[in-house]
Amino acid sequence: MKRLKKGALYYINSWQHFGTRMIISKAWEKFVVDRYRFRPNLIRTVPTFLDTYRDSAIPALASTRPLTICYLLHYFFPDKQGGTERFILNLAKEQQKLGNHVRVITLGKRQKSQYPYHTGHILWCEFEYDGIPVTQFRYNRAPRGLYYDAIRPDDHSMQVYAHAMIKRYHPDVIHMAYPQPFAAFSKVCREMGIPYILTLTDFNIFCHYATMVKKNGQFCGGSCQGQNCRTCKTYGVKDACDRYQKSYSFVQYASMITCPSRFVANIMQQEFPSITVHVVPHGIGKQFYISVSRKRTKRFLYAGTLSHLKGIHLLIEAFINTPGDISLAIYGGGDPAYVRALKAQAHKDTRIMFGGEISADKMPDVYCQADCVVVPSMWYETYNFVLRESLACGCLGIASNMGAMPEALVEGQNGFLFEAGDVASLEAALQRALQFDWDKYQPASFPLLEQEAVVYQNLYHAISEEQYDSQD
């Protein structure tokens, strides 16, 4: 009865927040369009992107004065935990250690009664998560295309809210890690003389699907200033070219733009030729650098979101076709219908185990119990924590040959690449992992959290001092 009541309250709250049209359109995209886009057995071609990125110097530390930094992103703990959320949580903690003051400002979807304050049409609350001050807000009624689709620099409700939050928290710097919902916030930052940084962890700034996978399931080679997006219409986007122009202005006025991989930098410079991008790889915690002796490859692992675009169904099919005394552990949660389909697909193979969702602090132990981590994604991963953390822990890696994952793997030394979406190619990669000579393993090394935090502190000081000098 309690579960039924909780479910009913969830749907009532969603209807009150988004309205009938928006709920129906998003359900259509998720359960019809997305399932068609990420359908198995579709022959896909991975486009080639020019490697045009050139390293640009990160400013040296200009000052040691404590800064107040506000981080903006579309979701945050405890409501959701993904790669972008982990990036901000880690970075905020490290900035606190460096003596800076931090606050996360994030969208939420809780019931109205859980937000005691309101500013115009926006409701908000304050709480603390893992030592980080958080302000979560929601609209009384969400505007069309709020979370993924629309770029709205003239959203009056957001502008009013931004003025109030800037006056309340007095930030020296605003750092937007998922910028799409905050175009109006950035406009207020410019009016009030507050510099802002954009960190682009996916492609939503120019792709309203965020994945660069077309409606027909093919991989996209770029927006062409919105022209190529016209065939991928969604509920929240009336004019793809207009969306692109608004995105361009949003990006153009940023004091600094960062991204976690060279691959993303190349894409962003293709989309926005006049901008300068700094590659700042996400930091990896010291707890993942564990020495584990491995002699044979027997234990395979997938950890992460269970969704079509992650390609877990392809991994299960390839694994079932791979004989031997081996095992596959699958950790994570996702769309219940997709999870049920995966379990039905795997139920006759006793070598496959589903472990459910697992907290980040347990992941080092999970990696230690695996020999090879598989990331069979069917989209352009922009970094992928799981791959890099597992490599830091001494695992082999198998990943699709697209996005930022090839930057972490050296074929035959610490892992293998396969053709994205191709079951036969994935089977071949599993076989190569089974035959791998562990005496030839070459460990990978990635920046630590502390090193990433120092780079960002330098950026924060550089742009805040530059803004201070310009006001003088």
**pLDDT of res. 324:** 95
User: Above 90 in pLDDT, residue 2?
Assistant: no
Q: In the prediction, which pLDDT does 55 show?
A: 79
Handedness of CA 269, 446, 452, 90 (dihedral sign): positive
Q: Which residues contact 472 (CB under 8 A, 6 or more apart)?
A: none
Instruction: Give a yes or no: residue 36 inside a domain.
Output: no
The amino acid at 88: I
Please write the tens of the pLDDT for every residue from 7-38. 567 778 887 888 888 888 888 887 888 888 88
Tell whether the model's pLDDT for residue 195 goes beyond 70: yes
Whether residues 383 and 460 fall in one domain? no
Is residue 32 one of the residues assigned to a domain?
no
d(CA 460, CA 128): 23
Q: Is 312 exposed, middle or buried (0-12, 13-18, 19+ CB in 10 A)?
A: buried
| Whether residue 356 sits in one domain with residue 271 | no
Q: Which residue has the tokens 């742009």?
A: 463
Which stretch, 120-129, 148-157, 305-314, has highest mean pLDDT? 120-129
152 lies in the same domain as 296: no
Strand order in the sheet with 415-418: 352-356, 327-331, 299-303, 372-375, 396-400, 415-418
Which residue did the predictor score with more confidence, 45 or 79? 79
Rounded to an integer, what distance in angstroms lies between the CA atom of residue 15 and that of residue 19?
5
Kindly state the average pLDDT of the residues 393-401: 96
Within-domain flag for 15: no
pLDDT score of 211 more than 80: yes
**Mean pLDDT, rounded, of the chain:** 91
Where does residue 145 fall: left (phi above 0), alpha (psi -120 to 50 degrees), or beta otherwise?
left
Task: Please check whether residue 228 is in contact with residue 222, taking contact to mean a CB–CB distance below 8 angstroms.
Answer: yes
Query: Tell me, what's the pLDDT at 212?
Result: 92
pLDDT-derived band at 417, boundaries 50, 70, 90 = very high
Query: For residue 7, what pLDDT is reported?
Result: 59
**The predicted structure's pLDDT at residue 190:** 96
Averaged over 98-106, what is the pLDDT?
A: 97
Do 117 and 246 belong to one domain?
Answer: yes
What does the pLDDT look like over 310-320, one tens digit per residue?
A: 999 999 999 99
What is residue 12's predicted lDDT score, i.e. its pLDDT? 80
Do 118 and 247 fall within a single domain? yes
User: What CATH number is given to the structural domain containing 363?
Assistant: 3.40.50.2000
Question: What b/e string do you get for 193-214 counting C-beta neighbours within 10 Å, with b at 16 or more?
Answer: ebbbbbbbbbbbbbbbbbbbbb
Q: Which domain holds residue 223?
A: 48-283+452-471
For residue 406, being part of any structural domain is answered with yes
Instruction: Find the range with the poorest average confidence among 18-22, 215-219, 221-225, 409-413.
Output: 18-22
Q: Are residues 204 and 145 in the same domain?
A: yes
Q: Are residues 435 and 303 part of one domain?
A: yes
Instruction: Check whether 282 has a pLDDT greater than 90.
Output: yes
Residues 95 and 143 in one domain: yes
* Residues 337-357, mean pLDDT to the nearest whole number: 94
Same domain, 248 and 160: yes
Is the pTM higher than 0.95? The answer reads no
| Residue 3 is assigned to a structural domain of this protein | no
pLDDT score, position 62: 58
Q: Which residue has the tokens 């295309």?
A: 145
Does the pLDDT of residue 404 top 60, yes or no?
A: yes
Supply the pLDDT for residue 63. Answer: 67
DSSP code, position 38: T
Bridge partners for 127 per DSSP: 134
Together in a domain, 176 and 321: no
Q: Using 50, 70 and 90 to split pLDDT, how confident is the model at 149?
A: confident
Both 350 and 255 in one domain: the answer is no
Supply the pLDDT for residue 107: 96
In a domain, 110, yes or no: yes
Residue 34 lies in a domain: no
Q: Are 245 and 363 members of one domain? A: no
Domain count across the chain: 2
pLDDT value for 362: 93
Which range, of 149-153, 162-166, 276-280, averages the lowest pLDDT? Answer: 149-153
pLDDT of residue 3: 57
Q: What is the pLDDT of residues 248-262, one digit of tens each?
A: 999 999 999 999 999
Answer whether residue 124 is part of any domain.
yes
